[in-house]
Amino acid sequence: RPSLAFDLGGTKTLVALVDGDRIVEANERTTDRHLDPDDWCDAIAELAAPWQSRYGAIGGAVTGVVHAGRWSALNPGTLPVSANYPLADALERRLGRPVVLHNDAQAAAWGEYRFGAGAGRDLLFVTVSTGIGGGAVIGGRLLTGRGGVAGSVGLTQETAGVPLETLASGRFLADAAAALGHAVDAPAVFAAAARGEAWASAVLDRSADVAARLLQNLQLLFDPAIMVVGGGVGLADGYRARLEARLAHLPPHLKPEIRAAALGKSAGVIGAADLARRTL
Ligand code: ADP
Ligand code: BMX
């Protein structure tokens, strides 16, 4: 039987019936940042309701840190999750059976390793999305760490007190555009750059400068066979080209091999479904 999986991110909530690497059916809704975890759990249950009893295992990929069934934000700016929210219990009550939970970028890393760009090779996954997330599969194992934090690259700092994701993510693009007088979202910044508007290219360049340095640092730390880039910004037209341009000068043994997430926006739910199937 297919698995039920969901991907709750700072911008979108995706719920799907997943069979291996295939999305059988999917429902999506904007994550309403002004609501709270109870509401977000209600939204997941509502989106999953049409598939009652058609699924076995349930897997979840969520922005933030999950450990021992509890959910917390690292950066409330990405999604204001209350500390230690009992997510596993809240979802089990609504869905009627246990849920296997992971951070969204960790789940996506596993999905790309098993069914996507990884094809069984060790990899790092970096999502440039509402925030910046990361996941690592090393020696065929998904790193989750002491408390589920492993891979949280968006909170690393180049400058004291400034999380990297505030200088490169989708929210950065919108904030930087607003600071220049353009009240637009990230897709509109890409569209303006494509139309040749210099301010928009400059904003994308600032993001790519930071993201490229992150990938360079990650290559030094883990030296993965490939570096998979996902997320709404990471997969947007021209973004990876900007990263490649910034890394082209590196010698081969230090240069990341960048790949687009082959599973696209489904990497999280496909990874979460496979992780759940393996656990139950
Ligand atoms: P989430 O962060 O919820 O996982 P996404 O991966 O879709 O969701 O990332 C959301 C961020 O990416 C938002 O800042 C959004 O504006 C931006 N985004 C989404 N789609 C695109 C696109 N096609 N082009 C550029 N930016 C995008
Ligand atoms: C943040 C953090 C990570 C997450 C990353 C991408 C929170 C709520 N989230 O760094 O756990 O993986 O954003 O999240 O602290 P997304 O919503 O952009 O997918």
3 pLDDT above the threshold of 90: yes
> Does 10 sit in the ligand 1 pocket, CB within 6 Å?
yes
CA atoms within 13 A on the CB side of 44: 30
What's the chain's average pLDDT?
97
Cα distance between residue 202 and residue 176, in whole Å: 10
255 pLDDT above the threshold of 90: yes
Atom of ligand 2 nearest to the CA of 155: 10
Atom of ligand 2 nearest to the CA of 134: 12
Tell me the ipTM for this assembly: 0.99
Residue-level pLDDT at 53: 86
Atom of ligand 2 nearest to the CA of 65: 11
196 pLDDT above the threshold of 80: yes
Best residue among 62, 104, 229, 233 to mutate for probing ligand 1's pocket (most ligand atoms within 8 Å of CB) is 233
User: Taking the chain, what is the end-to-end CA distance rounded to the nearest angstrom?
Assistant: 13
Residue-level pLDDT at 35: 97
Ligand 2 centroid distance, CA of 53 (Å):
31
What would the pLDDT profile of 67-80 be if each residue is shown by its tens digit?
999 999 999 999 99
Q: Three-state SS across the chain?
A: CCEEEEEECCCEEEEEEEECCEEEEEEEEECCCCCCHHHHHHHHHHHHHHHCCCCCCEEEEECCEEECCEEECCCCCCCCCCCCECHHHHHHHHHCCCCEEEEHHHHHHHHHHHHCCCCCCCEEEEEECCCEEEEEEECCEECCCCCCCCCCHHHCEEECCEEHHHHCCHHHHHHHHHHCCCCCCHHHHHHHHHCCCHHHHHHHHHHHHHHHHHHHHHHHHHCCCEEEEECCCCCCCCHHHHHHHHHCCCCCCCCCCEEECCCHHHHHHHHHHHHHHHHC
**Is the whole model's pTM more than 0.80, yes or no?**
yes
**Ligand in closest contact with the CA of 239:** 1
280 pLDDT above the threshold of 80: no
Largest CA distance in the chain: 54
Average pLDDT estimate for 8-28: 97
Ligand 1 centroid distance, CA of 241 (Å):
17
Ligand 1 centroid distance, CA of 10 (Å):
9
Reported as a pLDDT band with limits 50, 70 and 90, residue 279 is confident
**Ligand in closest contact with the CA of 104:** 2
What would the pLDDT profile of 40-70 be if each residue is shown by its tens digit?
999 999 999 999 889 999 999 999 999 999 9
Reported as a pLDDT band with limits 50, 70 and 90, residue 113 is very high
Cα distance between residue 96 and residue 39, in whole Å: 17
**Ligand in closest contact with the CA of 81:** 2
Count of CB atoms within 10 A of residue 225's CB? 14
Residue in the structure block whose two tokens are 């230690």: 84
Question: Contact at 8 Å (CB) between 59 and 278?
Answer: no
Atom of ligand 2 nearest to the CA of 153: 10
Cα distance between residue 239 and residue 204, in whole Å: 8
> Does 190 sit in the ligand 1 pocket, CB within 6 Å?
yes
Ligand 2 centroid distance, CA of 64 (Å):
5
Ligand 2 centroid distance, CA of 14 (Å):
15
Ligand 1 centroid distance, CA of 233 (Å):
5
Average pLDDT estimate for 260-265: 98
Atom 11 in ligand 2: residue holding the nearest Cα:
64
Ligand 2: which residues within 6 Å by Cβ? 9-10, 63-65, 73-75, 78-79, 81, 103-105, 127, 129-133, 152, 154-155, 165
Residue-level pLDDT at 83: 95
